[in-house]
Amino acid sequence: KNEVEQSPQNLTAQEGEFITINCSYSVGISALHWLQQHPGGGIVSLFMLSSGKKKHGRLIATINIQEKHSSLHITASHPRDSAVYICAVRSGGYMKTSYDKVIFGPGTSLSVIP
Amino acid sequence: DTAVSQTPKYLVTQMGNDKSIKCEQNLGHDTMYWYKQDSKKFLKIMFSYNNKELIINETVPNRFSPKSPDKAHLNLHINSLELGDSAVYFCASSQGSVGNYGYTFGSGTRLTVV
């Protein structure tokens, strides 16, 4: 079992729908990242969270440290949101250490249909 | 004016060869990373350097050797290339090494070993 899981694995939505992508992890973390990988392969960092909630445009990311769970929400989805969304956690302590690890989830492939 | 640039973008080479991939960032970040994305699109961190010092070295074959001549550059040298090394390699940078900052990714280098 991966230390970072995402659901769903694949998601197809109609334009305008509200979308939720979930990430759960089993390790202690110092931060959680949401990344977007476009169909062309480029990767963009969307959010970095260590607590609470962040919003950027139509994207909202939340994290619940106690439940080891994070969600990425997309409001009013658009075909240009079609991409793979990847959750990544940074485990280990808050100090610079040689065993500080970054673990990626398997990604959620989102397709938004016009 | 690219923030994180990798060269080359594509690399096709024969088994047994030695090759290098270069990465440069002009963001003034102090931490740089190499990630590998395999054919199943799963991302995995390989190395992380903070101010030219190695801080993450995941279990990768010692045929892979990162070199950071200064904090703006992190190059990846691969000796004796094998078929299984075929993947997309992403360079990234961030300000700070403890995961509390977002990442900026390069556009990736697609390595094909034949």
pLDDT tens sequence across B60-95 = 888 999 999 998 999 999 999 999 999 999 999 988
Interface list for B 73-92 with A (CB within 8 A): 88, 90, 92
Give A-chain residues touching B6 at CB under 8 angstroms: none
Q: B51 CB near a chain A CB, below 8 Å?
A: no
Give B-chain residues touching A44 at CB under 8 angstroms: 105
Please give the residue of chain A at the shortest CA–CA distance from B31: A96
CA dist A11 and A9 (Å) reads 7
Q: Give me chain B's average pLDDT, please.
A: 89
CB B111 within 8 A of CB B9: no
Interior/surface letters B13-31, b for 16+ CB within 10 angstroms, e for the rest: beeeeebebbbbbeeebbb
User: Which range, of A23-32, A45-54, A85-94, B29-38, averages the lowest pLDDT?
Assistant: A85-94
- pLDDT tens digits, one per residue of A37-51: 998 888 999 999 989
Please give the residue of chain A at the shortest CA–CA distance from B36: A104
Residue to mutate among A102, A103, A104, A110, with most B CBs inside 10 A, is A102
